[in-house]
Amino acid sequence: MGRSQLEKQKTHEKIVETASRRLREEGLEGVGVADLMKEAGLTVGGFYKHFASRDDLVAEAIQSAFDSWGRKLEADGIDPAKMTAADVADRYLSAYHRDNPGEGCPFAALTSDISRGDDKARGIATERLRLNFEALASKASGADAERRRKAVIAFAMMAGGVGLARISSDEALSAEILETVRDFVAAIDK
């Protein structure tokens, strides 16, 4: 059935949103096109009117996944600029974030996937990495170089911490990692 331009755009967004979640949950190669289309309430045949290839969807979905962190803050009525390092740490190192990779940070959910990815995916991620460092540096104390150092340390520790916490099948160990890193980051600009 033919659809209006508006409906097509909504369909497009629905596919990207579905992919953005499922790819974070199951990895960049973990879900097939037919499965994604079905979950978006469609069939596989329509896919290539929206994307030239599966890789094109993946690139769009990664972009969307990076945007989702900010969109969620907005939905929760939080101004990112007003968050302290402690606020960021509380959110990033929460059990909720650990247990819901599909809604969370792609640097934690897709670390190894992106490093193996094509130039497009890595390019997008590199740009976001730079922005994350700058945003965190603006929250840290000290001279410019010191703030930059703190930002790099804090983000490496947060992304690594959530990654390791997700690996651990021992809940106590996993919680210890989250808590230890959270306390450290929260204290970083004190």
Partner DNA sequence: ATTATCTATAGATCTATAGATAATGC
- Residues of this chain that interact with a second copy (CB under 8 A) are 25-27, 29-30, 101, 107-116, 119, 122-123, 125-126, 129-130, 149, 152-153, 155-161, 163-164, 166-170, 173, 176-177, 180-181, 184
Looking at beta carbons only, is 11 or 91 nearer to a second copy? 91
135 counts as binding DNA under rule CB under 7 A: no
State the Cα–Cα distance between residues 102 and 13, nearest whole angstrom.
Answer: 16
Q: For residues 92 and 161, what is the distance between their CA atoms, to the nearest angstrom?
A: 10
Please tell me whether residue 1 binds DNA under the rule CB under 7 A: yes
Distance separating alpha carbons of residues 134 and 148, to the nearest angstrom: 7
DSSP category for residue 54: H
Residue 42 within binding range of DNA, rule CB under 7 A: yes
Name the one residue in this structure whose structure tokens are 């590199």.
Answer: 126
Residue 37 or 154 with smaller CB distance to a second copy: 154
50 binds, among DNA, a second copy, none (CB under 5 to 8 A by kind): DNA
- Report d(CA 159, CA 181) in Å as an integer: 10
